[in-house]
């Protein structure tokens, strides 16, 4: 049975990639490509909305899609725990909302490893870099990583001099430093300092091909699950594995 997919943010870099994946994947059919100027009603009749737009549009489109019987895959940056919780509380029975800050398998594994290592270090900071066209900062991936680290720890982090602007934006007790540079796709380093040692967990995206498998898996998960899933780690079922680590 074919899955009809609507794409919000179709004119952007990620939107173009999602449409290419749909065109080349058996069982997926492009129902509509929407931009910020497109009436939301054009998504009606689709099975899934893949949202890779910007936060202002996303916060309107995601509830609209769920209310009208679509499952949703959200790859738009800016969906923090508070925003996700507000949508999760209103997901209709039988529908699925999948929030994926980063569709790269390597990136989600890097975040997972950082959440394990973060239990054992009390000095932790994140340095993230993206291409110069990315508007928001810090990235959704960096925010998700900081939140995962904090959730895994027994005690909250207390970084020194966190009130100084140059120390980065504090997310869940973790300073995040953002760079926007030409020549970069995406690069994240989680730096963990301890007595006499430093551990760095780094993931670098070389091209958008890194997102293909994750996008396909997320769409499939949205069609086969119910309720809210956060992170590609949730799609992959890494939570149970990490709980044993």
Q: Are 123 and 175 in contact (CB under 8 A)?
A: no
Q: Are 32 and 7 in contact (CB under 8 A)?
A: yes
Mutual orientation of helices 105-117 and 212-224 as an angle, nearest 10°? 80
Catalytic residue set: 130, 134
Tell me the residue length of the chain.
245
DSSP state of 148: H
Which distant-in-sequence residues (6+ apart) come within 8 Å of 47 by Cβ?
3, 4, 5, 31, 70, 71, 223
Q: Coil, strand or helix: which one is 126?
A: strand
DSSP H helical ranges for 52-139: 55-67, 81-88, 105-117
* Whole-angstrom distance, CA of residue 206 vs CA of residue 171: 26
* Whole-angstrom distance, CA of residue 214 vs CA of residue 14: 13
């Amino acid at each position: 049975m074919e899955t009809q997919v609507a794409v919000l943010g179709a004119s952007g870099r990620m939107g173009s990639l999602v449409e290419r994946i749909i065109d080349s994947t058996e069982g997926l059919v492009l129902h509509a490509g929407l931009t910020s100027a497109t009436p939301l009603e054009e998504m009606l009749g689709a099975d899934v909305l893949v949202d890779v737009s910007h936060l202002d549009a996303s916060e309107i489109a995601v509830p609209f899609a769920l209310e009208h019987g679509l499952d949703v895959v959200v790859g738009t940056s800016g969906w923090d725990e508070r925003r996700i919780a507000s949508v999760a509380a209103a997901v209709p029975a039988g529908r699925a909302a999948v929030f994926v800050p980063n569709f790269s398998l390597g990136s989600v594994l890097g975040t997972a490893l950082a959440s394990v290592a973060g239990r054992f270090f009390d000095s932790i900071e994140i340095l993230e870099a993206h291409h110069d066209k990315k508007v928001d900062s810090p990235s959704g991936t960096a925010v998700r990583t900081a939140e995962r680290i904090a959730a895994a720890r027994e005690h909250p982090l207390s970084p020194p001099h966190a009130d100084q602007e140059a120390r980065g934006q504090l997310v869940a007790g973790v300073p995040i430093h953002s760079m926007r540079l030409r020549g970069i796709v995406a690069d994240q380093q989680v730096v963990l300092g301890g007595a006499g040692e430093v551990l760095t967990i780094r993931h670098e995206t070389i091209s958008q091909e890194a997102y293909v498998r994750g996008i396909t898996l997320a769409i499939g998960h949205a069609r086969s699950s119910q309720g809210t899933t956060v992170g590609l780690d949730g799609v992959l079922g890494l939570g149970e594995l990490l709980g044993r680590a």
